[in-house]
Amino acid sequence: MSKTVSQPKAFTLIELLVVVAVIGILATVVVVNISSAQKKARDTKRRSDLQQIAKAAEMYFLKYDTYKIPNTGCANFGSGWFNYQDATIYPPGDGCSGSTLSYPNTIASGFENEGLFTKAPSDPKNPPNNGGYMYYPSNGKFAIYAKLELVNDKNSSGWDDGGLECGGPDNVYRMNLRVGNACE
């Protein structure tokens, strides 16, 4: 009687390479979907933030009959980057809007000082003192801008507005979402 010794079964090199390739493809799909979901979540927060800022601006207007918050924003004009502060003294003409002082107080802090925000919203991707949202009050109206990462709801002016916006100027900051009554 002879006993046959069976060889242990093993995977071939080709089988291992196929498995590694499939795992790599699946990992790539998951990473892309996670990245897209993160962008969508940040854009949703931006839309919500702009709506909150718009409501706060309307409340401020009801109290003071203006959308400009004094001593905030670009050279204390009450407009510009919402969360940005830079107390640097520039030579005349080199600062914000040709002034000598750029952003001494944030527009967000003006809303906070009025009790309209406990903590004003800021862009989820940019640090609070690094741009993000823009606020422009003018002639009894205002506009708030943000830059969305996923632009998919363009109107005829090329703005991703979700039905909230009526067009806008070509701007160097590539903002693509505007909320406010400046369109009315």
Model confidence at 92: pLDDT above 70: no
pTM over 0.85: no
Other beta carbons within 10 angstroms of residue 39's beta carbon come to 14
Other beta carbons within 10 angstroms of residue 45's beta carbon come to 16
> Residue range 60-64: average pLDDT?
95
For the chain, list the strands marked E by DSSP: 80-81, 134-138, 141-146, 177-179
Q: Please name the amino acid found at residue 151.
A: V
Confidence of residue 132 (pLDDT cuts 50, 70, 90): confident
| Mean pLDDT computed over every residue of the chain | 79
Backbone angles phi, psi at 137, to 5 degrees: -85, 145
> Residue range 15-23: average pLDDT?
92
CA gap 81, 144 in Å, rounded: 10
